[in-house]
């Protein structure tokens, strides 16, 4: 059985993850790989139920620690029920967000610090992606993109202040500097095809 690969796609709101994930799936399947696409928070029935709580704008009074623990609970279920079995079967798992999101949004955005990393090491049993694609975009540009999308209601996280999203972006940049071998930083302000050409190169290196 061939080795499975775990690839996460990260970025602030509006960075174009969904568009690039579709292109990644087409590229990998054309090469003969079996691909499982999933997302966080979510990916399994239990994790999706937790997602509905986390992102519900009605829960604007949710505390930062509650938010962190809900994300970790969702992730723990996701890893055990979906990600690990797919990797064991030799598949490529593409996840729209993973632990880096919690570091960026809760450790930096919510200023919770290192407790976020500790909690998520427990939730994931130490699992890390083989490759992380980070689509870098300024907080202002990301918010503008989201607001311009038709028929899109902003969720609880997207409704946060620009200052919050700027702290999130700073968190991602810190992660890129700390783990350059795993995280491939790509300027998401470029044309879609240009962004994907960089992603394709990173995929080819991983799978070679």
**Which residue's entry shows tokens 């797919």?**
86
Q: What is the CATH number of the domain that holds 99?
A: 3.40.50.300
Q: Which of 46, 175, 5 is CA-nearest to residue 100?
A: 175
| DSSP letter (8 states) at residue 44 | S
| Residues 2-26, mean pLDDT to the nearest whole number | 93
Give the residue carrying structure tokens 């632990």.
99
- Write down the pTM of the prediction: 0.93
> Which range, of 27-36, 116-125, 152-161, 170-179, averages the lowest pLDDT?
152-161
Total number of domains constituting the chain: 1
Which tens digits make up the pLDDT trace of 44-60? 999 999 999 999 999 99
Q: What is the domain extent for residue 115? A: 5-207
Query: b/e string for 21-31 if b means 16 or more Cβ within 10 A?
Result: beebbebbeee
């Amino acid at each position: 059985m061939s080795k499975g690969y775990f690839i996460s796609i990260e970025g602030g709101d509006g960075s174009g993850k969904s568009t690039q994930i579709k292109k990644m799936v087409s590229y990998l399947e054309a090469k003969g790989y079996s691909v499982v696409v999933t997302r966080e928070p979510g990916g399994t029935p239990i994790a999706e139920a937790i997602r509905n709580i986390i992102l519900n704008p009605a829960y604007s009074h949710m505390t930062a620690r509650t938010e962190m623990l809900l994300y970790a609970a969702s992730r723990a279920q996701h890893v055990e029920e979906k990600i690990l079995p797919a990797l064991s079967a030799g598949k490529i798992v593409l996840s729209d967000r993973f632990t880096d999101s919690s570091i960026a949004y809760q450790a930096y955005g919510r200023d919770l610090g290192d407790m976020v990393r500790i909690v998520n090491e427990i939730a994931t049993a130490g699992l890390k992606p083989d490759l992380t694609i980070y689509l870098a975009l300024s907080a202002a540009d990301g918010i503008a993109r989201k607001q311009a999308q038709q028929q899109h209601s902003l969720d609880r996280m997207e409704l946060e202040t620009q200052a919050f999203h700027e702290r999130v972006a700073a968190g991602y940049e810190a992660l890129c500097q700390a783990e350059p071998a795993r995280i491939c930083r790509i300027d998401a302000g470029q044309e879609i095809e240009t962004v994907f050409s960089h992603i394709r190169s990173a995929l080819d290196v991983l799978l070679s």
